[in-house]
């Protein structure tokens, strides 16, 4: 396993946000995290990225408790993309992507050709090469999101944690981002709202409700009519897609 | 593509160094020039060449015959004053740049943390209430007050765990508290003359500074600049907030404590010497960012140089704007700074 969570509990005040969650992400798989708003997806992702300490339970990276690993060592292998990260500094796109090299550089080391290669590759993969010298404030919402992905890729992660990365993206960029993530040789854990996209691209799905994981498994096992009614309160028909064989969800008007 | 990248980066390196050396040299010349002009201005005008010779004489490079009165005025009064102004301006601008980066707030400057308010209370407590029975100087009181304010902010904002907004709110509350304490002491205990003296000190003056002040402030601000430069990349990584910085491998809590303590030490040292000089910490980083961009490896040295030059110019203005009278330096920095700041705001608005 690469990331493993054991009985995670996280509370804000008296309210339990993440309630006894255990999961395993296998190396190289793309793990989709579904659930309605407020079901605890973001908090769970933060715990998995080691940004918050669980009240009880633990997160392990290759068997080692993440709370005992130095922040820099975590950042050398785990990249995290927040939902609404923005800035008032007018950085260039390339400067934002270069931030991803931060954990790999010591305080004194200069900029190396490896760093350059990682940044150029990340810009290339996210279709931002032409925009590398544009300033942050001039980017559209979708370009900002892709710049964040490029920054995360420049981090050369083994594990990639993404919190609703397709928000604000048009459908072309939603699909290309998900395709890109699914083709990366990294373990990715991704919170998504679009169930059809999740079914198409993720190897496995987890479904959260009120802080608990209530279903886990392959998309065709998880995305059932009963579950959609129970968790999302929608009426829907689920059938295998004639185009990609993964489940496709038709919502009933 | 890889070979091209390597070639271009290796070919770029020496040119980069030459440009950097040129900029550093140019900055030093600019600072030397304004210091020279500042030394020349006063009741007894002294030409730039005399100042230059006086310095080279003292360094043992030349043996030019000079008017001894000129030499005394230069060495005993004006040179130390101008150099202290350079380091105070540099220090305040650095503090502003650090706080704006860490708190992600364009309005942040040392005074947001209430440090100047604390220094004022400390100074007033020594001068008017006579705390310490003469054992403490006004500066020591100001320094203690500044640190008390810093600790109070740290306590209110829950150490490093409170977020940026919480730190700013804690700073505003601390400012209010200490300003109220200062007003209370002045209005209930002071006489008119003391109140006037305190008021003048509060608005800032380089009048009393000599060489001991220069050594202290140059060491503190010099070390401060070095530490900041080590943290330049870390400050860049704060651009997207604490969580993003943390996910890039930064120990946010420790960094925040170190850098805030650094700004507190620099500000307290400066305020205890020359009073509370506003606006430099706010306006200079914005001006510098407008020219060199937001990356801190460039921004921080640019702030230090711009802040230093700006402060010396403000000191010159404070002595020349009204004949026979010295204006408080804080009045000048605000009067010059606000219109200047308006221009930047206007241009930024048009650029976006």
Q: Please answer yes or no on whether B104 and A87 come within 8 Å at the CB atom.
A: yes
Q: With an 8 Å Cβ cutoff, are A103 and B104 in contact? A: no
The angle subtended at Cα B313 by Cα B311 and Cα B317, nearest 5°, is 115
Cα–Cα distances in angstroms (integers) from residue A96 to residues A85, B13, B245, in the given order: 12, 22, 12
**CB pair distance less than 8 Å for B106 and A88:** yes
Chain A CA closest to residue B246: A51
Residue B9: the pLDDT is: 43
**Residue A250 bridge partners (DSSP):** A237
ipTM associated with this complex: 0.89
Interface residues of A toward B, Cβ cutoff 8 Å, are: 46, 49, 51, 71-76, 78-80, 82, 85-92, 95-96, 99-100, 102-103, 105, 107, 111, 113, 116-117, 120, 137, 155
In angstroms, the CA B302 to CA B140 distance is 31
Confirm if B284 and B310 have CB atoms less than 8 A apart: yes
Residues of A in contact with B352 (CB under 8 A): 137
What chain B residue is nearest to A107 in terms of C-alpha separation?
B230
User: Minimal Cα distance from A75: which residue of B?
Assistant: B249
Asked whether residue B194 is assigned to any structural domain, the reply reads: yes
Q: Supply the pLDDT for residue A192.
A: 94
Is B43 domain-assigned?
no
CA–CA min distance A93, chain B (Å): 12
3-state secondary structure B3-18: HHHHHHHHHHHHHHHH
Question: Pick from A200, A195, A201, A193: which is nearest to A224 by CA?
Answer: A195
User: B77: distance to nearest CA of chain A, Å?
Assistant: 41
Q: In Å, how far are A156, A187, A201, B167 from A127, measured between CA atoms? A: 17, 22, 20, 39
Chain B residues within 8 A of A73 when measuring between CB atoms: 249
**Does the distance separating the beta carbons of B5 and A113 come in below 8 Å?**
yes
In a domain, residue B193? The reply is: yes
Using an 8 Å Cβ cutoff, are B272 and B81 in contact?
Answer: no
Searching chain B, which residue's CA lies closest to the CA of residue A117? B2
Structure confidence at residue A103 as a pLDDT band (50, 70, 90): very high
B50 in a domain, yes or no?
no
Confirm whether B295 is domain-assigned.
yes
Residue in chain B closest to A152 (alpha carbons) equals: B248
Side-chain-facing half-sphere of B213: CA atoms under 13 Å: 27
DSSP state of A108: S
Of A71, A107, A117, the CB nearest to B5: A117
Determine the distance from the C-alpha atom of residue B33 to the mean position of all C-alpha atoms in its chain, rounded to a whole number: 19
CA distance A183 to A3: 19
Q: What is the pLDDT of residue B161?
A: 61
Task: Looking at chain A, list the stretches that DSSP marks H as alpha helix, in order from N- to C-terminal side.
Answer: 41-48, 71-75, 93-98, 113-125, 141-154, 171-183, 195-201, 219-222, 225-232
- What is residue A11's DSSP assignment? E
Strand partners, A16: A11
Strand partners, A6: A58
Q: Mutate which of A50, A71, A79 to disrupt the B interface (most B C-beta within 10 Å)?
A: A71
Tell me what pLDDT residue B4 has.
40
Q: In angstroms, how far is the first alpha carbon of chain A from the final one?
A: 41
If one counts every other C-beta atom within 10 angstroms of the C-beta of residue B85, the result is: 30
Residues of chain B with pLDDT > 90, as a percent, come to: 29
Q: Does the distance separating the beta carbons of B1 and A85 come in below 8 Å?
A: no
Are β-strands A187-191 and A159-163 bridged in parallel, bridged antiparallel, or unpaired?
Answer: parallel
**How many CA atoms within 13 Å lie on the side-chain side of A211?**
13
- Chunked in runs of 10, what are the mean pLDDT values of chain B (352 residues)? 40 70 90 90 84 85 83 86 94 94 84 82 81 67 86 76 77 91 84 76 82 92 95 92 91 88 88 84 89 92 95 91 84 82 73 56
First to last CA, chain B: 34
Closest chain A residue by Cα to residue B161: A52
Residues from chain B contacting residue A90 (CB–CB below 8 Å): 293-294
Residues 6 or more apart whose CB falls under 8 angstroms from that of B132 comprise B126, B140, B141
Q: Do B104 and A46 touch (CB under 8 A)?
A: no
Of A72, A79, A113, the CB nearest to B6: A113
Among A137-146, A205-214, B320-329, B339-348, which range has the highest average pLDDT? A205-214
Cβ contact B80:B216 at 8 Å = no
Report, as an integer, the average pLDDT of A180-209. 94
Q: What is residue B10's predicted lDDT score, i.e. its pLDDT?
A: 43
Number of domains in chain B: 1
Out of B106, B244, B251, name the one closest to residue A71 (CB): B251
Beta bridge partners of A138: none
**B249 vs A contacts (CB less than 8 Å):** 71-76, 102-103
Measured between beta carbons, the chain A residues lying within 8 angstroms of B251 are 71
Identify whether B3 is part of a domain: no
Contacts of A81 (CB under 8 A, 6+ apart): A148, A149, A152, A160, A161, A162, A163, A165
Q: Which two tokens stand for residue B55?
A: 């310095």
Yes or no, beta carbons of B243 and A102 under 8 Å apart: no
Which domains does chain A carry? 3-77+157-251 (3.40.50.300), 86-156 (no CATH)
Which of A69, A80, A89 should one mutate to test binding to chain B, selecting the residue with the greatest count of B CBs within 10 A? A89
B239 contacts A51? CB cut-off 8 A: no
Domain coverage including residue B206: 88-351
For residues A66 and A50, the answer to whether their CB atoms sit within 8 Å is yes
Q: What is the largest distance, in Å, between two alpha-carbon atoms of chain A?
A: 60
| pLDDT score of A106 | 79
Of A102, A111, A116, nearest to B248 by CB-CB distance is A102
**Nearest one of A197, A168, A176, A204 to A29, comparing CA atoms:** A204
CA distance A171 to B160: 41
Q: What secondary structure, in 3-state letters, does chain B show?
A: CHHHHHHHHHHHHHHHHHHHHHHHHHHHHHHHHHHHHHHHCCCCCCCHHHHHHHHHHHCCCCCCCCCHHHHHHHHHHHHHHHHHHHHHHHHHHHHHHHHHHHHCCCCCCHHHHCHHHHHHHHHHHHHCCCCCCCCCCHHHHHHHHHHHHHHHHHHHCCCCCCCHHHHHHHHHHHHHHHHHHHHHHHHHHCCHHHHHHHHHHHCCCCCCCCHHHHHHHHHHHHHHHHHHHHCHHHHHHHHHCHHHHHHCCCCHHHHHHHHHHHHHHHHHHHHHHHCCCCCHHHHHHHHHHHHHCCCHHHHHHHHHHHHHHHHHHHHHHHHHCCCCCCCCHHHHHHHHHHHHHHHHHHHHHHHC
Chain B residues touching A78 at Cβ < 8 A: 247
| B37 within some domain | no
Inter-axis angle of helices B115-127 and B252-274, to 10 degrees?
40
CATH number for the domain spanning B167: value is 1.10.3470.10
Interchain pair A102, B251: CB under 8 A: no
Confidence (pLDDT) at B55: 85
Enumerate chain B positions whose Cβ falls within 8 A of a Cβ in A: 1-2, 5-6, 9, 101, 104, 106, 230, 233, 236-237, 239-241, 243-244, 246-251, 293-295, 352
Q: What residues of chain A lie within 8 A of the CB of B5, using their CB?
A: 113, 116-117, 120
């Amino acid at each position: 396993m690469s990331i493993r969570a054991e009985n995670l509990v996280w509370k804000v005040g008296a309210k339990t946000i993440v309630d006894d969650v255990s999961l395993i992400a296998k190396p190289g798989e793309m793990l989709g995290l579904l659930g309605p708003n407020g079901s605890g997806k973001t908090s769970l992702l933060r715990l998995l990225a080691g940004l918050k300490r669980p009240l009880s339970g633990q997160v392990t990276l290759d068997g080692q408790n993440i709370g005992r690993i130095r922040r820099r060592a975590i950042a050398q292998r785990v990249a995290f993309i927040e939902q609404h990260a923005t800035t008032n500094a007018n950085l260039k796109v390339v400067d934002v992507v270069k931030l991803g090299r931060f954990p790999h550089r010591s305080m004194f080391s200069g900029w190396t050709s490896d760093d350059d290669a990682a940044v150029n590759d990340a810009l290339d993969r996210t279709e931002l090469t032409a925009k590398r010298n544009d300033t942050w404030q001039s980017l559209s919402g979708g370009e900002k999101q892709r710049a964040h992905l490029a920054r995360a890729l420049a981090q050369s992660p083994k594990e990639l944690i993404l919190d609703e990365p397709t928000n604000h993206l048009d459908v072309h960029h939603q699909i290309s981002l998900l395709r890109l993530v699914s083709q990366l040789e990294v373990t990715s854990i991704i919170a998504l709202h679009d169930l059809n996209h999740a079914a198409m691209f993720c190897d496995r799905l987890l479904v959260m409700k009120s802080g608990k994981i209530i279903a886990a498994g392959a998309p065709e096992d998880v995305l059932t009519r009963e579950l959609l009614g129970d968790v999302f309160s929608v009426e829907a028909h689920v059938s295998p897609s004639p185009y990609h064989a993964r489940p496709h969800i038709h919502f009933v008007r | 593509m890889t070979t091209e990248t390597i070639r271009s980066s290796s070919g770029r390196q020496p040119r980069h160094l030459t440009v950097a050396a040129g900029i550093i040299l140019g900055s030093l010349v600019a600072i030397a020039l304004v210091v020279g002009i500042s030394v020349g201005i006063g009741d007894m005008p002294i030409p730039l060449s005399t100042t230059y010779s006086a310095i080279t004489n003292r360094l043992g490079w030349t043996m030019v015959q000079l008017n001894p009165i000129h030499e005394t005025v230069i060495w005993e009064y004006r040179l130390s004053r101008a150099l202290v102004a350079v380091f105070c301006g540099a220090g305040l601008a650095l503090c502003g740049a650090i706080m704006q980066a860490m708190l992600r707030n364009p309005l942040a400057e040392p005074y947001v943390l209430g440090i100047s308010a604390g220094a004022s209370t400390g100074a007033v407590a020594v001068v008017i209430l006579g705390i310490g029975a003469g054992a403490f100087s006004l500066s020591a009181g100001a320094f203690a007050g500044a640190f008390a304010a810093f600790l109070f902010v740290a306590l209110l904002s829950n150490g490093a765990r409170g977020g940026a907004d919480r730190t700013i709110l804690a700073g505003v509350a601390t400012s209010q508290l200490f300003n109220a304490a200062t007003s209370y002491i002045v209005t209930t205990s002071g006489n008119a003359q003391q109140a006037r003296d305190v008021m003048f000190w509060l608005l800032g003056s380089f009048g009393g500074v000599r060489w001991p002040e220069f050594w202290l402030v140059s060491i503190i601000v010099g070390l401060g600049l070095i530490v900041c430069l080590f943290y330049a990349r870390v400050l860049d990584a704060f651009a997207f907030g604490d969580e993003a910085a943390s996910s890039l491998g930064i120990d946010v809590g420790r960094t925040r404590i170190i850098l805030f303590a650094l700004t507190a030490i620099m500000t307290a040292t400066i305020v205890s010497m020359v009073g509370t000089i506003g606006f430099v910490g706010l306006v200079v980083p914005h001006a510098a960012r407008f020219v060199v961009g937001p990356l801190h490896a460039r921004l921080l040295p640019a702030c230090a140089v711009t802040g230093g030059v700006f402060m010396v110019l403000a000191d010159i203005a404070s002595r020349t704007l009204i004949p026979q009278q010295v204006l408080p330096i804080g009045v000048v920095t605000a009067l010059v700074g606000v219109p200047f700041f308006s221009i930047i705001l206007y241009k930024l608005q048009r650029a976006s």
